[in-house]
Amino acid sequence: GNSVTQMEGPVTLSEEAFLTINCTYTATGYPSLFWYVQYPGEGLQLLLKATKADDKGSNKGFEATYRKETTSFHLEKGSVQVSDSAVYFCALSEGDSSYKLIFGSGTRLLVRP
């Protein structure tokens, strides 16, 4: 079945460091890919998405590129801030119109001043 694998955390960085959180997926067909972020005490929020191969999703300085050849959707940010400390979830849906999300296990990011 379809699945998502994320790197285990926590990831601890200093402010202004470069961030990469790895995400790979297994899926049949042409899934859409998502990154969600969960700040302490809040619900998951959609951070960015990509719906087809080679698409790049971006938001708030974060980027991820849909790589079909490597089945990956790694999250990157050039310069993290303390306010980026949160849990990040990679997810896929089974096609652009599907309601069902399949999540990775989440990666906690801690950014120190």
Partner 1 sequence: GAVVSQHPSWVICKSGTSVKIECRSLDFQATTMFWYRQFPKQSLMLMATSNEGSKATYEQGVEKDKFLINHASLTLSTLTVTSAHPEDSSFYICSASPGRYPTRKADTQYFGPGTRLTVL
Specify the residue, 4 or 80, whose C-beta has the smaller distance to partner 1: 4
Contact between 29 and partner 1 (CB under 8 A)?
A: no
Subset of 57-86 contacting partner 1 (CB under 8 A): none
Specify the residue, 8 or 16, whose C-beta has the smaller distance to partner 1: 8
Cβ within 8 Å of residue 6, ≥6 positions away: 21, 22, 23, 88, 89, 90, 104, 105, 106, 107
Contact between 103 and partner 1 (CB under 8 A)?
A: yes
CA angle 19, 95, 4 (to 5 degrees): 40
Give the range of 12-20, 21-29, 76-84, 97-105 binding partner 1 by CB under 8 A: 97-105
